[in-house]
Chain A
C-alpha cells in the first residue's frame, strides 16, 4: 500500500501544476488579444509619419538630414527587444540567435557592435558577451508606453548623430500569427528613402520654423514609433508563444496524470487482490 499513497501525492502535485499552466495559458490568451489591438492602433501613426517624411524629402530633394545619409559602417548599433519573463517557448532563444547572426555578419566586415537592450532576458544574455551596452530598459510590462522608450532611443540617436554608430538596427519578435513568431531584423538608420508614390499630388508646405528643424522632429518621432511598434509586437509575440507553450504544458500534464492514474489503479487492484488472497488463504488454514 506504500506505493499508492506516493502515486496519489504525485498526481495531486501534477494536477496543481496543470492548474497553474492552464491559468497562465488563459491569461496569455487575453493579453495577446489586447496586445494585438494595440499593434493595430499603432499603425496609422507610423503610416502618417512615413507619408510626411515622404512629402518632406520629395519637396526638398537637395536637403539631406544626417539620419538619411548612408556612411561607411565602422560601427553599428542594435536595439534588441526581448521579453522580461520566461516560460514563452523558444521565443527569446530564436531572437538571440538571429541577433548573434547579424552581429557576426557585421563583425566580419570589421564593424564594431554596440547594443541597446530592451527587456531583462536580453540583458541577461548579452551581458555575458562583453560588448558595449549603450542603453537598456527593462520591465516595461504588458503595456509598453512611448514615454518609457524615449530615453533609450535617444541614446542611440545621439550616438548616431555623433558618429559613434553608422547603422542602427531593430531586432524584435515579429508576430506572424498565434502559432508563428519570427525574429525580425530591421534597419532604422539611416532611414531608407521612402517611396514617393503620390508624386502627382505633390505640393510644398509652408514650414514653421524651418524644414530642417521639422524633419529632425519628425524623424526622431518616426524612429521612436518604430521602436514602440517593435515593443508592442514583441509583447503580442510573447503572449502568443506563452499561450502555445502553456497549452503544451497543460496537455503534457494531462497525459502524465492519465498514466499515473493507470499505475495507481493497477497498484490498488494488486493490493486488494493480495489482501483477498491472504484472507482466503487464512480461512483455508483454519
Chain B
C-alpha cells in the first residue's frame, strides 16, 4: 500500500470522503495541484472548484468544494471544505445583512425588519449571482 495516500474530505456539516487514493487533484488558491503519495507537507487555501480523487480500485470521486483549506501531511491529505460558496463580496454582504438585521431589530418595527431582510436577501442573491458568473467565466 505504499503507493496510496489517505484522504479525508470533511466539512463543518459532515464527513464527505475518507479513504485511500492514488492521486488527488485540488483547486488550490495559487492554481490547481495534483497530489501523489509522498507529497511534501503543504498548507494552502482552496478556491471554489472540484476535488478529484482517484481511488485504488480505479474509481474516481468528484466533490465540489466552495473553498476551504488543504493540509498535506507526510502520509495524509486533509481537505477542510467549505459547504458554502464564499468570496469576499458574499461574506461582506452577509455581514452587512447581519448588521442591518440587528439595527432594524433595535428599532422594533416589524415591517421594517422584513423589508431589511428582503433587501439583504436581494444583496446576497446578487452577490452570489456575480460569483457564479465569475466562476463560469473562469471555467469557460
Contacts and interface: CB of A to CB of B under 8 A. Distances in A.
Contacts of B85: 147
Interface residues of B, number: 43
Main secondary structure of the interface of B (DSSP, over half): mixed
A93 interface: no
A38 B102 CA distance: 28
Contacts of A117: 102
B15 interface: yes
Contacts, number: 137
A127 B13 contact: no
A175 interface: no
B95 A158 contact: yes
Interface residues of A, number: 47
B105 A147 contact: no
Contact of B13 (A41, A150, A211): A41
A204 B43 CA distance: 9
Interface stretch (A44-52, A68-76, A266-274): A44-52
A225 interface: yes
Interface string A151-168: 110110010000000000
Interface stretch (A19-27, A188-196, A214-222, A240-248): A214-222
A28 B72 CA distance: 41
Contact of B78 (A38, A48, A151): A48
Interface string A138-155: 100000011100111011
Contacts of A213: 45
Contact of B43 (A41, A52, A155): A52
Interface string B58-101: 00000000001101111000101011111000011111111101
B45 A214 contact: yes
Nearest to A42: B12
Q: A-B pairs with the 3 shortest C-beta distances? A: A151-B94, A147-B84, A41-B14
